[in-house]
Amino acid sequence: MAALLLTSCGGGGGGGGTPTPTPTPTPTPPPTGGLFAPPAAESLSVADVQQIIAQAVGEARARGRPSIIAVTDRVGNVLAVFRMTGAPDTAVVSRNRIGGPAPAGAQIALQGATIPAAAAAIAKAITGAYLSSGGNAFSSRTASQIVQEHFPPAPTTVGLESGPLFGVQFSQLPCSDLSRRFVPGGGAGALIGPKRSPLGLAADAGGFPLYKNGVVVGGIGVMGDGDYSFDQNILDIENDDEEAIAFAGTQSFAAADAIRAERITVDGTSLRFSDATPANLAPLQTNFGAINGTQGALIAITGYTDGTLIAGTVYGTEASGIRASTAGEFSNRDAFVLTDGSGAPRYPIRAGTDGAAVAQPLTAAEVRAVLEEAFTVLTRARAQIRRPLDSRMQATISLVDTNGEVLGIVRSPDAPIFGTDVSLQKARTVAFLSGSRAAPELLATPVVPGVANVPAYVQRTRTFLNDPAALTGGTAFGDRSVGNLARPYFPDGEVARPAGPFSVEQAAQFSPFAVGLQVDLVALNIVQHLNFVASNGASPDTAQQCTQVPDTTLGRKRIANGIQIFPGSVPIYRGSTLVGAIGVSGDGIDQDDMVSFLGTHNGGARVGGIGNAPSAIRADRVVVDLAGGATARLRYVSCPFAPFLDTAQQNVCDGL
């Protein structure tokens, strides 16, 4: 298994605007007096988990598809993994890519890798739980739709821009320093989340969120066909066994129709939730005792579960690792924070740690001002991917210094969990790539033959931008700019054009499992972790920090949970000096851009001395020469139309 995983890995324009919605009155605040109603205290009981597994096993039996079934709670704790007799122990990552299936020996990154099937099932369950909230229910099929090179993915959509969450699959990584890890034997702190995923977020059908009394309480994931893939054609309806088995497991725990992905549109395109329907299912089996020991058994998965079936934790409690902030932690009483389980916040607001490299690091007061102002913008913003229409935006906000050290994280009560890790990835990405150390640290990253060649991206970028000093601090990159450079076509979607310098070298090599710099930075971490899982712990696990870039003077990585390549972050400057960055994720990429950009502007205006990058060095001043004499300009941020619920103001980011 170890050899298979290692030998099958190799090196290798921003989103559109938001349609103007019909204005409606500001929603009535909840009775607590806040602007958000926190989710009700719900969780999966042991009996609930048993019923979910029994229902899934019954459908798998009816289809003759022995499978591995994983169930998690909302913050990623694995509550059970059930392996049916005859289920495959391994799966193969799809070799499908833009240019057709990769020939044997020509696959790159994760294409063609052999992986533990249980790891794939857990990743699917976490995907359903993490992408969903009380206002939106997304599945791993939804994830597939929004991470590919064209949106929506189909043979007839070639030439359209990439998915709005292009790159999100490489979040929640097993090496992330933000994500907590399974505690063998349970005990205090065992259920603290968010937990990591063995493969990041999944794009393979067969992962759904689970709901209880309208509250998202977890996810289910199924792996049974040995093919860990993605759907390249959204126009057809599939009869996917894994999806039907997982869908059967959600019965009595299903998302309300009103919030399912197909009720949500992005750029006028409806998202996709499930090709399975109740009419496709066999009669439900709900008796866990009737299948446990006869159709299969609970199994231990190294790093995730000891084989015991347990109940989920209640999101919003100290035990879950995410709870309401106290007045001393954050001024806005709607804000939630990450906690260590004993009452202390994991990421309290603090000053910058980079005094050795920055003359005037961010002060705690400045960090607080930016986070508070960004949260205020969030509370006024109209949500993009949340129902009912004209709901308030919900998201997570992270702020870092130039070392990539976390100076504070806050979130709204019902923000999707995935945005926690992603907001931090976004902030670290733009702080890293806008700083003077990006090129030196990328160039100093070891080349791993057959796995990744990170240093090569520096010269590719310099050649592409015709700038021999690129990635040494001369340009302020928003994550929208980074995304422009990370697409397999530049400009985004124009198939006659070459790949961006952060993408795979040739567009024909691209797939959601091989995207370029983003995955090459973490490929070794993923491989090491999967070998750890497959060997039952005989091989060492990956460190709890991603990438092999050199450590900072503090002994940690600037991008310790990987990088992200879709919009929602900007760097923070004191005059012309980079001092940090802010990242936002959860409720629409244009909304994320707006909260980060206006939050930085408003916070700087409040305290003085800091703010957004000087306009002269922003990435939207960079013009790329294209073949035939054409040119294209990078983008910095893109704020939405009709963004606020309390005013009809438009063009709110112009001139700042």
Tokens of 196: 């990591």
Task: Indicate whether 14 pLDDT > 90.
Answer: no
Say whether both 139 and 279 belong to one domain. Answer: yes
Is residue 147 in some structural domain? yes
14, 41, 222, 286 from 212: Cα distances, Å? 36, 10, 20, 17
Say whether both 282 and 407 belong to one domain. Answer: no
Task: Indicate whether 11 pLDDT > 90.
Answer: no
Say whether both 137 and 278 belong to one domain. Answer: yes
Least confident interval from 156-160, 187-191, 383-387, 489-493: 187-191
- What is residue 10's predicted lDDT score, i.e. its pLDDT? 36
Is residue 23 in some structural domain? no
Number of domains composing the chain: 2
Is pLDDT larger for residue 188 or for residue 582?
Answer: 582
Task: Indicate whether 12 pLDDT > 50.
Answer: no
The per-residue pLDDT for range 309-357, each reduced to its tens digit, is: 999 999 999 999 999 999 999 999 999 999 999 999 999 999 999 999 9
Binned at pLDDT 50, 70 and 90, residue 1 comes out as: very low
Say whether both 379 and 280 belong to one domain. Answer: no
Determine the distance from the C-alpha atom of residue 600 to the mean position of all C-alpha atoms in its chain, rounded to a whole number.
23
Say whether both 282 and 365 belong to one domain. Answer: no
Q: What is the largest CA-CA distance in the chain?
A: 70
Distance from C-alpha of 102 to C-alpha of 462, rounded to nearest angstrom:
29
Instruction: Concatenate the DSSP letters of all residues of 213-255 into one string.
Output: TTEEEEEEEEE-SSEE---S-TTS----HHHHHHHHHHTTSPP
- Average pLDDT over the chain, rounded to an integer: 94
Is residue 519 in some structural domain? no
Binned at pLDDT 50, 70 and 90, residue 267 comes out as: confident
The per-residue pLDDT for range 268-312, each reduced to its tens digit, is: 899 999 999 999 999 999 999 999 999 999 999 999 999 999 999
- Domain boundary, last residue among 265, 298, 331: 298
Is residue 364 in some structural domain? yes
Q: What range does the domain containing 279 cover?
A: 42-94+107-298
Binned at pLDDT 50, 70 and 90, residue 33 comes out as: low
Is residue 421 in some structural domain? yes
Say whether both 154 and 220 belong to one domain. Answer: yes
Distance from C-alpha of 310 to C-alpha of 322, rounded to nearest angstrom:
19
Say whether both 353 and 291 belong to one domain. Answer: no
Is residue 648 in some structural domain? no
CATH of the domain at 254: 3.30.450.150
Say whether both 270 and 374 belong to one domain. Answer: no
Task: Indicate whether 440 pLDDT > 90.
Answer: yes
Say whether both 86 and 226 belong to one domain. Answer: yes
Is residue 1 in some structural domain? no
- What is residue 15's predicted lDDT score, i.e. its pLDDT? 34
The per-residue pLDDT for range 517-573, each reduced to its tens digit, is: 999 999 999 999 999 999 999 999 999 999 999 999 999 999 999 999 999 999 999
Task: Indicate whether 609 pLDDT > 80.
Answer: yes
Say whether both 57 and 164 belong to one domain. Answer: yes
SS3 484: helix
The per-residue pLDDT for range 348-393, each reduced to its tens digit, is: 999 999 999 999 999 999 999 999 999 999 999 999 999 999 999 9
Say whether both 135 and 193 belong to one domain. Answer: yes
SS3 534: helix
Residue 275 · residue 239 · CB < 8 Å: yes
Is residue 198 in some structural domain? yes
Residue 202 · residue 120 · CB < 8 Å: yes
- What is residue 40's predicted lDDT score, i.e. its pLDDT? 97
Tokens of 32: 């607590």
Task: Indicate whether 3 pLDDT > 60.
Answer: no
Q: Taking Cα atoms as reference points, which of 245, 275, 248 lies closest to residue 260? A: 275
Say whether both 217 and 76 belong to one domain. Answer: yes
